[in-house]
Structure 1
Amino acid sequence: MEFTPEQEMLRESVRAFAAKEMPDGFAREWDIKGEPPLETYQRFADAGFMGVGIPEQYGGQGGGIVEVAIVLHELSRAMMSFAIMVYRSAIHASGGLQIYGTEEQRERFLPGIASGQYKFCFSLSEPDAGSDAFNLKCRAVRDGDQYVVNGTKMWNSFARHADYVLLATRTSDEPKKQDGITFFVVDLSSPGIEITPVETIGERASGTNMVAYTDVRVPAANILGTEGQGHRNLQANLERERFSSLPINLGPMEAILEEAIEYANTREQFGQAIGRFQAIQHMLADVAVDVNIARTLTWDLARRIAAGEQCALEVSMAKLWISEAMMRASYTGMQVMGGYGYTLDSNMQLHWRNARLGTIGAGSSEIQRNIIARQIGVGRNPS
């Protein structure tokens, strides 16, 4: 798609920020630390980028999904984990509040997201509820003008550093599992919350956690949307998450291709640069094709979503394809760079480890195939 002059200016500004604040080696440094660069996050917010998708009346810049995708794409080229930290607030929280929040909630939280004062995370998965997303056991019970929350959540990324969480709970037992689900905005400093880091092989800077809730009191005013109808929030959140994975994977795919080409053109073996061997040329040609397709899918869907089209099927298709293309690209990059790519001094090993999450998180590749098959009518009973 063609970008407007304002969108091109945004792209250039975010790329300049990333080049200055997240130079080569920055992502590897924070990955090894297993910590997020919170000071850089605040500088990012101070520059106005956290408010790109927030209306001006709440302290934002009034952009839409295309502008947010531009931000995520440019950030992920430099540091995928940083882009993921940003999207938790810029997509999950900001989007949820704008669509389902009350005016009081929007006024209370959106300016803080835009300024960097409030950092959000999103919590759905549990020990027995992963791909079976509606099988929630974390329960919220009404007690006057509050709810009391008990339960355990898994894979709660960035929770250790966030201020608030969008928490999916069960508030009633209904015949259909998707009914009786309610979302809350929960202050993570509330008494009764215990956060335990979970070590992972990738996305270590943003990190993930197990979070236990024991008699945690949440104001009824913090319900996001309608009580018992949280499955609607959830479906919209997951679609936004799947779309966000497109620019977040596109950025590293481009970086992989650029880094592998540079290495192939400078690394000499058998008296010539390895890029002169047809085997290497074909490997990188395949990555270039995947990158081009990923760009087309990402920006076409951004345009269609911005125009108000319903694209749930196409988003699942694109998420499936791009996450698996990212896996292919990172594998090829590692193979081209050989032993150097396998060292912690290389960006390629970080791309390779981070890529593995793409086919698991935001709905695994198998779940995306289930969604696609259902949408195209496979398995229906004959009428």
Structure 2
Amino acid sequence: MHFERSAPPSSRDAELLTNSWTSLNRTASASYAARWSASLRGKCPGSLRRNGTRKITFAELAALGVMGLTVPEKYGGASRDILGTMVVIEELSRRSLAVAVPYIMAASYAGMNLVECATEDQKRELLARVASGSLMFAYGWTEPNAGADLASVTTRAKRVQDKVRINGTKRFCSGAAIADYIYALVRTGPKDVRYKNLSLILVPPTAVGITITPIESLGMKGAATTDVTVVDVEVPFTNVIGAEAGLEQWLVDGDGLWARCGEAGGRRHGSGHSRRRAEDAWSYALERVQFGKAISNYQSIQHKLAEMKTQLHAARLVLYHAAWLANQHQRCGVETSMAKLFAPEVAKSVALECQTIFGAYGYVKNFDSERDVRGALLLPIIERSWAVQRNNIFKWSKLAAWHGAIDFETERHDAGWIPARRTARSCRAPHRSNHDGSR
């Protein structure tokens, strides 16, 4: 990986994008964060759907071209730019973690999954609308008994002529009440092989048979998480991502479907959140005077600020490395799991340290710190458990070593992947890597 600004090319684009976005962020993001949270908190699904805030803000995003950063140019996007996507997520989440959620759902999870696994007709129809910012999505994978273990999904879909009938329950489905589609992970066949017969289906939350129940949470209230109960809901068969092949699709873990859509989400989500908090704590330490001098003059505070800066820098390098590998179409299962493990823990640690620097001001409701601590506590959870990520890092590194992709003697990590658990359509099978980095 090159660290110069001249390479890779997307680094220059990311810098320009950061400058453009920061300009918009300073004038619009703070008020938008407040409007978004107020529009969602404590309102019923019907009134949520009628709220126009999301359309206005998505129009602003689309005007910058950032909604299409995960969409190929042939479908109306700005080509594949995962680094740029991460910059947008970081800048959005600087004001509020919840503000970035709708963008992550549309551009990262929906956009990337559609590019990977949709049919050509589905890509032409949906990706242009993703790129224009006219579609919103909700994440419908988690269930009451299926979290990190996605193979435990029990929501079932059965084909009935030219339709699909769905029954089940989705939990922690953030934004379902205002989305155009819930992209639901469903079981479309027998559970004979754990990761087989799992498919993605686009389900309109307004369909007859769907009940949406808000869930009150400790933080991230602006994300409006919900339970979604699905009883005999019928959608067109064309809503199955991948169509006929999609009914036999294997869920790809590691380097494919999951990892590629994941690394542009929560990891950068937490990075923007914690960077803003650290900047605020730094400014506060320079201004807060106790015992006749600014508290930044005390070594204990200096050490906290130095440690936070180091952690944030390390987290950013881990994140950008994973994104760079994905952008280069290189295998990156190990690296994305490292990012999932490390960056959310850094975000939580930084939020708590900042709260101690703010003192009592970090605890009261009139300031942002207590809200940010509540939000940061969620980040390690939504990235699946730390134990799962550690298991993945070891397992995929070991498998890669068996197939010659990693030389543990010299610690040269060219790729992290698992053997061919491949989607029925476009997710690519693993390949061996040369140690010089060529493909």
Q: For 1:80, which of 83, 88, 97 is the aligned residue? A: 97
One-letter code of the match for 1:139?
R
One-letter code of the match for 2:171?
M
1:27 corresponding residue in structure 2: 33
Distance 1:95 1:242, change over 3 A: closer
Q: Is residue 362 of structure 1 aligned with residue 362 of structure 2? A: no
Q: 1:310 deviation in Å?
A: 0.6
Q: 1:227 deviation in Å?
A: 0.9
Q: 1:34 deviation in Å?
A: 4.0
2:424 corresponding residue in structure 1: none
Q: Is residue 9 of structure 1 aligned with residue 16 of structure 2? A: yes
Deviations, residues 313-349 of structure 1 (Å, cap 9, x unaligned): 1111121111111111000000000111112222222
1:296 corresponding residue in structure 2: 317
1:381 corresponding residue in structure 2: none
Distance 1:283 1:359 in 2: 21
Q: Is residue 194 of structure 1 aligned with residue 211 of structure 2? A: yes
2:259 corresponding residue in structure 1: 239
Q: 1:241 deviation in Å?
A: 4.4
Q: For 2:369, which of 345, 348, 363 is the aligned residue? A: 348
Q: 1:26 deviation in Å?
A: 5.0
Map 1:160-199 onto structure 2 (within 5 A). 160-199=177-216
Q: For 2:143, which of 126, 142, 147 is the aligned residue? A: 126
Distance 1:361 1:285 in 2: 28
Q: Judge conservation of contact 1:28–1:347 (CA < 8 Å) in 2.
A: no
Q: Is residue 319 of structure 1 aligned with residue 340 of structure 2? A: yes
Q: Judge conservation of contact 1:238–1:362 (CA < 8 Å) in 2.
A: no
Q: Judge conservation of contact 2:188–2:199 (CA < 8 Å) in 1.
A: yes
Q: 1:237 deviation in Å?
A: 3.9
- Higher deviation after alignment, 170-179 or 253-262: 170-179
Q: For 1:92, which of 109, 122, 134 is the aligned residue? A: 109
One-letter code of the match for 1:16?
S
Q: 1:170 deviation in Å?
A: 0.9
Distance 1:132 1:327, change over 3 A: same
Distance 1:237 1:155, change over 3 A: farther
Q: Is residue 217 of structure 1 aligned with residue 246 of structure 2? A: no
Q: 1:29 deviation in Å?
A: 5.8
Distance 2:36 2:270 in 1: 19
Distance 2:124 2:328 in 1: 26
Residue 229 of structure 2 aligns to a residue in which SS? strand
Deviations, residues 241-280 of structure 1 (Å, cap 9, x unaligned): 4312222111112111110011111111122111111111
Residue 359 of structure 1 aligns to a residue in which SS? helix
Q: For 2:293, which of 266, 272, 280 is the aligned residue? A: 272
Residue 199 of structure 1 aligns to a residue in which SS? coil
Q: Judge conservation of contact 1:241–1:362 (CA < 8 Å) in 2.
A: no
Distance 1:179 1:63 in 2: 28
2:159 corresponding residue in structure 1: 142
Distance 2:310 2:131 in 1: 37
Q: 1:377 deviation in Å?
A: 4.2
One-letter code of the match for 2:295?
I
Q: Structure 1: which 4+ aligned runs deviate by more than 6 Å?
A: none
- Higher deviation after alignment, 48-57 or 177-186: 48-57
One-letter code of the match for 2:334?
L
Distance 1:240 1:356 in 2: 24
2:249 corresponding residue in structure 1: 229
Q: How many residues are treated as equivalent by the alignment?
A: 377
What stretches of structure 1 of length at least 5 have no aligned partner?
379-383
Q: 1:63 deviation in Å?
A: 3.9
Q: 1:71 deviation in Å?
A: 1.5
What stretches of structure 2 of length at least 5 have no aligned partner?
42-47, 400-439
One-letter code of the match for 2:318?
L
Identity rate, percent: 30
Distance 2:397 2:124 in 1: 41
Distance 1:280 1:373 in 2: 36
Q: Judge conservation of contact 1:21–1:40 (CA < 8 Å) in 2.
A: no
Distance 1:21 1:237, change over 3 A: farther
Q: Judge conservation of contact 1:242–1:316 (CA < 8 Å) in 2.
A: no
Distance 1:140 1:333, change over 3 A: same
One-letter code of the match for 1:103?
E
- Higher deviation after alignment, 321-330 or 107-116: 107-116
Q: Judge conservation of contact 1:96–1:233 (CA < 8 Å) in 2.
A: no
Distance 1:318 1:115 in 2: 29
Q: Is residue 59 of structure 1 aligned with residue 97 of structure 2? A: no
Distance 2:213 2:257 in 1: 25
Q: Judge conservation of contact 1:54–1:110 (CA < 8 Å) in 2.
A: yes
Q: Judge conservation of contact 2:182–2:202 (CA < 8 Å) in 1.
A: yes
Distance 1:177 1:41 in 2: 38
One-letter code of the match for 1:19?
R
1:102 corresponding residue in structure 2: 119
Distance 1:28 1:134 in 2: 38
Q: Judge conservation of contact 2:80–2:327 (CA < 8 Å) in 1.
A: no
Distance 1:53 1:179, change over 3 A: closer
Distance 1:367 1:4, change over 3 A: closer
**TM-score when normalising by structure 2:** 0.81
Distance 2:77 2:333 in 1: 27
